[in-house]
Amino acid sequence: MANPAENELDEGEIIFFVCVRIEQTFHVAAHTEVDAPVNLCEEIHAQYSDLARLWGLGDYPSISRYLFLGAYIDWGDRSLERICLLMACKLILPETLSPARQS
């Protein structure tokens, strides 16, 4: 493998690799099985603040399971922050955060 310090990626390559990883992380089958109890979360669209408030009102993903019912990768001012937060939680706590099919 080449020395990473000797190779530079341009912005387009970085975005491509991040998008591929997001797709791999959030790829789900049409049928998702989740152990109970679980918190169901409807479409959050661009509402990063609603996601943060949801976890503030309930339990954080380290304590409770969450099933997101789509529209978590979407438009909005804070969509990058939202997907980064969801992806970080999914990578760190894979059993507690489950995305359903993206609508």
- Would 30 be classed as within a structural domain? no
28 belongs to a structural domain: no
**Is 27 within a domain?**
no
Whether 2 is in a domain gets the answer: no
Q: Is residue 18 part of a domain?
A: no
Total of domains in the chain? 1
Domain presence at residue 92: yes
- Establish if 31 belongs to a structural domain: no
**CA separation for the pair 86, 71 (Å, rounded):** 12
Single pTM value for the model: 0.61
Per-residue pLDDT tens digits for 72-83: 666 666 777 777
Helix, strand, coil percentages in the chain from 3-state DSSP, rounded to 5: 40, 10, 50
Does residue 8 fall inside a structural domain? no
- The phi-psi region of residue 45 (left if phi > 0; otherwise alpha if psi is between -120 and 50; otherwise beta) is left
Give the residue numbers spanning the domain of 52: 36-103
Q: For residues 7, 9, 13 and 18, what is the CA-based torsion angle, rounded to 10 degrees?
A: 90
pLDDT tens by residue, 12-46? 887 788 778 777 776 666 677 778 888 887 777 65
Q: What is the pLDDT of residue 28?
A: 64
- pLDDT given at position 101: 60
